[in-house]
Amino acid sequence: MREIIFDTETTGFDPLTGDRMVEIGCIEMVSRVMTGETYHAYFNPLRPMPAAAEQVHGLSDRFLSDKPLFAHKAEELLTFLGDSPLVAHNASFDFGFLNAELQLCGLDPISLDRMIDTVALARAKHPGAKLSLDALCSRYGIDRSHRVKHGALLDAELLAQLYIELTGGRQIGLGLVDDRAAVAGSDDGGTRHLVRVRPYREARPHSATPQELALHSEFIAKIKDALWLESESAL
């Protein structure tokens, strides 16, 4: 199954009060395995960046000033997302901003039926524990030493690793019988999928052939004072 793990960076906490999304990072997974396919974009929010938000993600007005508007990237993003389930940490926040941006473009919002919230998964698995991405990465030993500030693609990569742990750990998909091997493809809508097929292989024969037995006998005959000959003569 194809899933998209994603994260967003914004100008604040509430799109209903005028806050905008300024970055999105998406990671493609198939059968809980990261395929290496990603989508990443920055957006010009057409409003000043509050100092508190810039301190979190480091995205300044100057940096974002020459970036495209969300409307100019919306179709490209939707093509990458396809109809896959979307995984996010505190997903209602990210879905709220994503759908607000889509509605500003006159596009249909993404159904909440596609939403998978890793905070909810973690709360069910670890009731009473800290549920921040940092805390859960520490719990599962996920390295985040390279994370100085929040970044949508970097956080999505960390979240992908966390999602694997929350849904079965690193052994998922490593069964003894597995008929999957990556083959890239796409549907008529241009959405990239991964079809996994492994060709059937006959069991290898383990019995020696007549030629191999003859070569073995010839080799044995050349050995002088073989220990097994001494054993046979003593019988």
Which residues are documented as binding site for a divalent metal cation?
7, 9, 155
| 206 counts as catalytic | no
Q: Write down the catalytic residue from 89, 126, 146, 150.
A: 150
Give φ, ψ of 146 to 5 degrees.
-85, 5
How many Å apart are CA 55 and CA 22, to the nearest integer? 14
**Burial state string for 3-37 with b = 16 or more CB within 10 A and e = fewer than 16:** bbbbbbbbbbeebeeebbbbbbbbbbbbebbbbeb
Q: How far apart are CA 230 and CA 195, in angstroms?
A: 62
Annotated binding site for substrate: 7, 9, 57, 155
Rg (CA), the chain: 28
Contact 86, 95 (CB under 8 A): yes
Give which of 96, 89, 79 is closest to 5, Cα–Cα: 89
Whole-number Å distance between alpha carbons of 158 and 235: 70
Judged by DSSP in three states, 2 sits in strand
List residues with catalytic annotation: 150
